[in-house]
Structure formats: structure tokens, C-alpha cells
Amino acid sequence: MKQTAFVAVVALLVAGCMVGPDYSRPPVLVPDNYRFAVAPATAESIADLPWFEVFRDPVLQELVREALENNYELRIAAARVEEARAQIGIARSFLFPQINFNGGGSAQQVSRATDPPESFGANRNFQNILLGFALAWELDVFGRIRRETESATATFFATEQAQRGVLITLVGDVAQSYFTLRELDLELEIARRTVQVNDETVRFYETRLTGGVSNRLEVNTAVSNRSRTASTIPDLERQIAIQENQINLLLGRNPGPIPRGTALTEQYYPPSIPAGLPSALLERRPDIKAAEDLLVAANADVGAAQAPFFSNFSLAAALGGASHDLSNIADKRAAIWSVAGGVLQPIFQGWRLTSNYEAFKARSEQAVAQYQRSAQNGFREVADALVSIEKLEGVRLELEISVRALEDAARLSRLRYDTGLANYLEILIADQQLFDQELLLARARGAQLNAVVQFYRALGGGWQP
């Protein structure tokens, strides 16, 4: 009967209440729709598509897959997840009794010079052997250990979300780096094609100079224009090499060439780009989810810091045997045991417990603000990407009109020069303007594709298996 009552008391103590506040999600200012969205908000979102349906270039897809296998940042993030998982086990372990095996022995010889023979007899050598088990158990009456376990679990979830964030960033970085590389390839192609036209122009005017129908000024001007264009080629080649090295780093490779796939002008561009509901962003973006998980952890830490204000209950027990001879250690006459219980109630620690509690409350308030800031930053990034997509479309369309007009102007200027209706300055101006506008158009196309990548990443897309 006494044993039953003891077990009941222990069970009641172990299942005691947890002090501290339970988590409740703080309010977030969620807009009805994203700024610059061209249609009313719906549940459909491009972020629900896996990355290989958004980026359809086969070469780009292979690069992304290789990055997902070998990227160093992703490997670091995965190891952090495993570390956080282990921390849960460490925190939870204190909920259980801590059992240890104790063993020891000693040997002693009594001095023959100081102790008379009749005191010990002929045998003056003695030994003692102790073997047993010790149990120590802190009863989590007020939930300190459970709150610490809750905090460790929430931190683990945060590291999982951080890993997903690294994955999203990696997919986006590879795609943007690849599109930038294809943009530079297009610029290099434009520069080389323009230099070929300039070479033909130089040869044309050198021939005219030899024939006496031109002058040195026109030849020098043509040579200067050709060199101006040619000077962009080595710089573009430098940028391409650096961009390839950047992609190789994302892929976990040493510097080297990167294969090419679809040309920039032929890259897939989604016909419609739905943003989805702003409220869904709170559940989709890993950085926002991670900030909330860290808030849950900070909230649990407040409870863990509050528990030491209350009594600490503990149990201790020991069971074993002690004997002068190892062969007799299992004899019931050598058995030893003990059971003890304790209560520790803090009275005064120089306001240390209070200061510790206030510190964790302040950290929880910081976590609330960080979570709300993460959400607001997510809405901002989506709005930035939306306006970029919209405005860059207009930029590209206007530049396409400009390039077509300048191509016609360059052709007409040569006809006018050949018929004596214009001087070489018209050709020079038309060629320079066409070259500059073609480069701007290439950059606008690259920026437009990169804006889609940024939009996809801002919505939290790309981490789906």
C-alpha cells in the first residue's frame, strides 16, 4: 500500500504543470493582395510548381541537379539539421532517470612497526570492493525540462526551414547565374558580329582611299569605331569566365567551362505568373517559417527560465554490494542500498533568477519583431519582383522597336552615303547607336528572366522534392 502511494505521488509530480506562456502566433499585417499584382489574388501560385517546370532549359536543369547534390552550403545546412536533431535528444534525456554503474576498490597494508601483532594477527593486508548502481532523477514538476525540449524541437524545425531556404536560394542562384551567362554570351555574339561589320567598313574605306575617292579622316574614323567595339570583346570574355567560375562554385566544382543550352532569346518565359494569396506566404517561405520556429523556441525558453523560481524535486537511489573479497560481492549479506528524496526551493540568489527571466523575455520580444519583419520583407520582395517583371517587359518591347529602327537607319545611311547624300558621320552614329541598343536589349532580356527567378524565389518556390 505504501509503495502504491509512493508511485502515485511520483507520477503526479512528473506529470506536473508547465509554467510559462504557451505559444500563440503574433499578429502580422497581411495585405489583401500584393502590390503591383495585375489580377485579384487567387490561391494559384507559380511557387507551387517544381523548379524544373519553371526552368525548362535541359542544360540548366542538369546544372541545378548537380548543385543540389554537391553544393557546400547545402551540405552544411544538412549537417546543421542533424546537429539540431541531436540537441532534441540531449534536452529530452533529462526527463528520464540517470542511471550509472559505480565500481571501485582499495587495498591496504597495516604497518608492522606502529601496530602490535595482537591487533591484526599475521594478516596485515586488507582490501575493499564496491560494485553497484546509482540513480538520480530530477522530477520535472514545473516543466523546465519539457520547455527546454520544446525549445530544442522548435530550433530543429527552424534549421529544417533554413535548409529549405538554402535550397531555394541555390536553385535561384544557379538559374540567375546561368541566365546572366547566356546574356553575356549574347552580348559577346553581338560584339563579334558588329566587329565583322566594322572590319568590312574599314576595308571598304581603305579601298576607297587607295582609289582616291575617300580621305584619311574617314578611314581613321572607321578604324576608331571598330576598335571601340572590339574593346568590349575581351571585357565580355573576362565577365563570362568569372560567371562560369561562379557557377562552378555553386556546383561544388573547380573553375572550368560551363555547357550552354537554349539561347537567351529562346528561353522559356511563363505565359502567366500568378502570385497567389499573400497569407499563404507565411506558410510557404522557409525564412518566415524559420523565424516563427525560433519564436516558438524563444517562447519556450521563457517558461524554462520561469521554472527555477519554484521548488525542484529530486530522487536518488543506490543498489549494490560491498565486500572484502570479489567472490563474495554477490552474497546477500554484502548488499547495500539507499533511497533519498530532496526538495530545493530558491530563496535568494542576488536577483540572478529574475534577471535571467527578464533576459529571456526580452529575447522573446526580439523574436516576435524578427518574425514580423521577415513577413513584411517577404511581401516587399514579392512586390519588388512583380514591378520588375511588369516594367522590364515594357523596357524590352521599346528596345526591340529601337533596334529594328536602328537596323533600318544603319542600312539607309549606307545607301545615302553611296549616293552622295550623306557623309560618313551618319554611318558612324547609326552603327554606334545600333550596337549600344543591341547590348541594352540583351541586358533587358536577361534582367527579365532574372526577375522571374527572383519572383519565384520570393514566393518560396523551388524547394519541393
Beta strands 125-139; 312-323: pairing state:
antiparallel
| 426 membership: H or E segment, kind and range | helix 424-458
**What is the reported pLDDT for 336?**
84
Cell of 191: 560584339
Residue (of 172, 161, 177, 179) closest to 51 by Cα position: 172
Q: Is 463 left (phi over 0), alpha (psi -120 to 50) or beta?
A: alpha
Q: Which residues contact 376 (CB under 8 A, 6 or more apart)?
A: 28, 29
Q: For the chain, what is the mean pLDDT?
A: 88
**What is the reported pLDDT for 114?**
64
Q: Which of 7-21, 153-167, 243-257, 311-325 has the lowest mean pLDDT?
A: 7-21
Q: 111-169 pLDDT, tens per residue? A: 666 656 555 555 667 778 888 889 999 999 999 999 999 999 999 999 999 999 999 99
**What is the reported pLDDT for 440?**
96
Q: What is the mean pLDDT of residues 25-32?
A: 93
**What is the reported pLDDT for 116?**
60
Phi first, then psi: what are they for 156, rounded to 5°? -60, -45
Q: Which of 33-47, 114-128, 279-293 has the highest mean pLDDT?
A: 279-293
437, 402 in Cβ contact below 8 A?
yes
End-to-end CA distance of the chain: 58
Residue (of 464, 286, 451) closest to 383 by Cα position: 451
Cell of 439: 547590348
DSSP 8-state secondary structure symbol assigned to residue 53:
H
Q: What is the mean pLDDT of residues 210-239?
A: 86
> Is residue 2's pLDDT more than 50?
no
Q: 109-118 pLDDT, tens per residue? A: 766 666 565 5
Round to whole Å and give the CA distance between 425 and 433: 12
Q: What is the mean pLDDT of residues 425-450?
A: 91
Q: What is the mean pLDDT of residues 189-216?
A: 84
Tell me if residue 24 falls in helix, strand or coil.
coil
Give the chain's largest Cα–Cα span. Answer: 141
Q: Which residues contact 237 (CB under 8 A, 6 or more apart)?
A: 188
Burial zone of 206 (CB within 10 Å; 0-12 exposed, 13-18 middle, 19+ buried): middle
Cell of 52: 524544373
> Is residue 16's pLDDT more than 60?
no
Hey, how many other C-beta atoms are within 10 angstroms of the C-beta on 234? 10
> Is residue 314's pLDDT more than 80?
yes
Residue type, 67: A
Round to whole Å and give the CA distance between 134 and 318: 4
Cell of 463: 524547394
Strand-pairing partners, residue 317, are 135, 339
Q: What is the mean pLDDT of residues 74-103?
A: 93
Report residue 6's pLDDT band, with 50, 70 and 90 as the boundaries: very low
Q: Greater confidence, 169 or 209?
A: 169
Q: Greater confidence, 125 or 346?
A: 346
Tell me if residue 327 falls in helix, strand or coil.
helix
Residue with cell 594478516: 123
Q: Which residues contact 151 (CB under 8 A, 6 or more apart)?
A: 91, 296, 297, 298, 300, 301, 304
Tell me if residue 116 falls in helix, strand or coil.
coil
Residue (of 53, 34, 54) closest to 42 by Cα position: 34
| 89 membership: H or E segment, kind and range | helix 72-93
User: Taking the model in full, what pTM does it have?
Assistant: 0.85
**What is the reported pLDDT for 322?**
80
Round to whole Å and give the CA distance between 47 and 29: 21
